[in-house]
């Protein structure tokens, strides 16, 4: 289990760098300026995005996003770091954005790996703005 927020998604069959690249490409297509960083100690990748091109699908609270990827046995895990709070009036738009991102990552990983890799949702996926049960 990840420190902090916990896992949002996991992937089997590809590494954290490649998984992070797929997310970075998708954020770029939405209008985000993306910054990627890699560290070896601890072994993790980070993707930060700042919305630069207006997009009606992105709620105001999602103008800055940050994600952390870390290796797991046979794959990688993705932790959604920020934003940590979403106003109630933006929850529906944010939920839709999350669903679209998840679907895109699932399709991209399956397509690019020729169905040898797979995105797996943990039994208890965590998003930082959703209260822990």
Domain covering 9-85+95-120, topology: TATA-Binding Protein (3.30.310)
What pLDDT, on the 0 to 100 scale, is given for residue 132? 59
What pLDDT, on the 0 to 100 scale, is given for residue 1? 37
Q: What does R_g of the chain's alpha carbons equal in angstroms?
A: 14
**pLDDT tens digits for range 73-86:** 889 999 999 998 89
What pLDDT, on the 0 to 100 scale, is given for residue 79? 93
What string of pLDDT tens digits covers the 133 residues of the chain? 334 347 899 999 998 999 999 999 999 999 999 999 998 888 899 999 999 999 888 999 999 999 999 999 889 999 999 998 899 999 999 999 999 999 999 999 999 888 888 998 887 788 888 765 5
What pLDDT, on the 0 to 100 scale, is given for residue 21? 94
Dihedral, CA of residue 93, residue 100, residue 55 and residue 24, to nearest 10? 130
Domain residue extents for the chain? 9-85+95-120
99 Ramachandran zone, left/alpha/beta (phi>0; psi -120 to 50): alpha
**CA contacts within 13 A on the Cβ side of 42:** 10
């Amino acid at each position: 289990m990840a420190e902090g927020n916990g896992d949002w998604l996991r992937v089997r069959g590809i590494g954290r760098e490649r998984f992070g690249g797929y997310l970075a490409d998708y954020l770029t297509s939405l209008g985000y300026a993306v910054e990627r960083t890699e560290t070896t100690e601890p072994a993790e990748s980070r993707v930060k995005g700042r919305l630069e091109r207006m997009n009606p699908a992105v709620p105001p609270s999602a103008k800055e996003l940050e994600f952390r990827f870390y290796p797991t046995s046979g794959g990688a895990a993705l932790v959604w770091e920020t934003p940590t709070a979403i106003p109630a009036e933006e929850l529906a738009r944010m939920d839709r954005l999350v669903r679209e991102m998840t679907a895109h990552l699932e399709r991209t990983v399956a397509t690019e790996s020729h169905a040898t890799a797979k995105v797996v949702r943990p039994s208890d996926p965590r998003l930082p703005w959703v209260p822990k049960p």
